[in-house]
């Protein structure tokens, strides 16, 4: 069953289901670290296999209008690879889409379906595409929204539809059912993963993005405060919050999912 929002003042249990295989789909290098990195590290430590797809290489992520976007993209890919190795992903895939111009169109959907069918994850973690304005303050970047909705549309129905993108099936990438979506940075979270044990890895991975982080110590303090706040609903020192969409429930499955012992 899809988890529901928590009524005000109530506490939830820490989210216990764990996918055996999960794919993180992010718009930019560093999104996956600000997003679900500590959850990914915790799941990988517990035996899951995780992979990261970056739709863009962040070639507009700077303050200098004279900077060479290709040089910046190469720097950011290297930073992302280092961060990913700290988290423990088995692979990082860059789709090399244009930063600032990501669009939920068929070519991007096909690229994402290709990666889903290649890796065959139980769960996909991506940006909550319904967040236009953050509840706290601020506008959600257009690339985050586009990556999120493209990932949702790739998961359902395209990746599982044998007749969608027939050239992929002809290349051996047959239809695959992703059973759950974990949407990060939600305005209305429904699940909280205890990341007390892996918060330091999230922070170490964030520090790899040196081109984006002017004040690493200040960032660390903000991340610790943020994850502490997200830990409050489940009474732990640190958590990451998600809006979880269960597309296919397995009635034979225990509370800990495919990875349960």
In the bound state, the residue with its beta carbon closest to Zn ion is 28
Shortest Å distance, C-beta 146 to Zn ion: 11
Q: Which of 127, 156, 131 is closest to 53 using CA atoms?
A: 127
Do 128 and 181 form a contact (C-beta atoms < 8 A)?
no
Of 28, 51, 76, 127, the one binding Zn ion by CB under 5 A: 28
Shortest Å distance, C-beta 127 to Zn ion: 8
Shortest Å distance, C-beta 30 to Zn ion: 7
Stretch that binds Zn ion, among 29-37, 91-99, 106-114, 167-175 (CB under 5 A): 29-37
Q: Is residue 75 left, alpha or beta, with left meaning phi > 0 and alpha meaning psi from -120 to 50? A: alpha
In the bound state with Zn ion, the residue whose beta carbon lies nearer, of 27 and 239, is 27
- The answer to the question of residue 77 lying near Zn ion (CB under 5 A) is no
Shortest Å distance, C-beta 167 to Zn ion: 30
In the bound state with Zn ion, the residue whose beta carbon lies nearer, of 31 and 240, is 31
In the bound state with Zn ion, the residue whose beta carbon lies nearer, of 58 and 231, is 58
Residue entry with tokens 């009474």: 235
Q: How far apart are CA 155 and CA 21, in angstroms?
A: 14
In the bound state with Zn ion, the residue whose beta carbon lies nearer, of 27 and 72, is 27
Six token digits for residue 106: 């068929």
Q: How far apart are CA 151 and CA 80, in angstroms?
A: 20
SS (H, E, C) 153-214: HHHCCHHHCCCCCHHHHHCCCCCCCCCEEEEECCCCCCEEEECCCCHHHHHHHHHCCCCCCC
In the bound state with Zn ion, the residue whose beta carbon lies nearer, of 31 and 230, is 31
In the bound state with Zn ion, the residue whose beta carbon lies nearer, of 187 and 196, is 187
Give 241's contacts (C-beta < 8 A, 6+ positions apart): 184, 186, 189, 191, 192, 230, 233
Shortest Å distance, C-beta 66 to Zn ion: 22
In the bound state with Zn ion, the residue whose beta carbon lies nearer, of 87 and 159, is 87
Do 181 and 149 form a contact (C-beta atoms < 8 A)?
no
Q: Which of 186, 183, 182, 195 is closest to 227 using CA atoms?
A: 195
Shortest Å distance, C-beta 99 to Zn ion: 9
Stretch that binds Zn ion, among 6-14, 19-27, 179-187, 239-247 (CB under 5 A): 19-27
Q: How many residues bind Zn ion (CB under 5 A)?
A: 3
- The answer to the question of residue 31 lying near Zn ion (CB under 5 A) is yes
Shortest Å distance, C-beta 209 to Zn ion: 11
Q: 125 - beta bridge partners?
A: 24, 182
Q: How far apart are CA 173 and CA 182, in angstroms?
A: 23
- The answer to the question of residue 122 lying near Zn ion (CB under 5 A) is no
Site residues, Zn ion (CB under 5 A): 27-28, 31
């Amino acid at each position: 069953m899809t988890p529901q929002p928590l009524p005000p003042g109530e506490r939830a249990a820490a989210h216990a289901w764990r996918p055996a295989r999960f794919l993180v789909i992010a718009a930019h290098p560093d999104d996956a670290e600000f997003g679900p990195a500590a959850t990914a590290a915790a799941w990988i430590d517990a035996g899951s296999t995780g992979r990261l797809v970056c739709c863009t290489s962040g070639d507009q992520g700077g303050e200098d209008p004279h900077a060479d976007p290709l040089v910046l993209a190469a720097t950011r890919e290297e930073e992302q690879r280092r961060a990913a190795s700290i988290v423990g992903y088995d692979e990082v895939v860059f789709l090399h889409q244009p930063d600032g111009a990501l669009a939920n169109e068929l070519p991007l959907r096909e690229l994402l379906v290709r990666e889903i069918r290649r890796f065959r994850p139980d769960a996909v973690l991506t940006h909550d595409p319904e967040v236009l304005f953050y509840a706290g303050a601020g506008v959600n970047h257009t690339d985050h929204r586009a990556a999120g909705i493209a990932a949702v549309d790739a998961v359902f129905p395209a990746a599982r539809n044998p007749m969608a993108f027939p050239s992929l099936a002809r290349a051996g990438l047959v239809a695959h059912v992703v059973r759950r979506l974990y949407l990060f940075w939600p305005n209305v979270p429904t699940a909280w993963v205890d990341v007390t044990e892996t918060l330091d890895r999230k922070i170490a991975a964030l520090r790899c993005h040196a081109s984006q982080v002017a004040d690493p110590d200040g960032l660390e303090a903000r991340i610790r405060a943020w994850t502490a706040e997200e830990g409050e609903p489940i009474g732990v020192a640190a958590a990451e919050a998600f809006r979880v969409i269960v597309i296919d429930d397995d009635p034979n499955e225990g509370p800990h999912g495919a990875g349960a012992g």
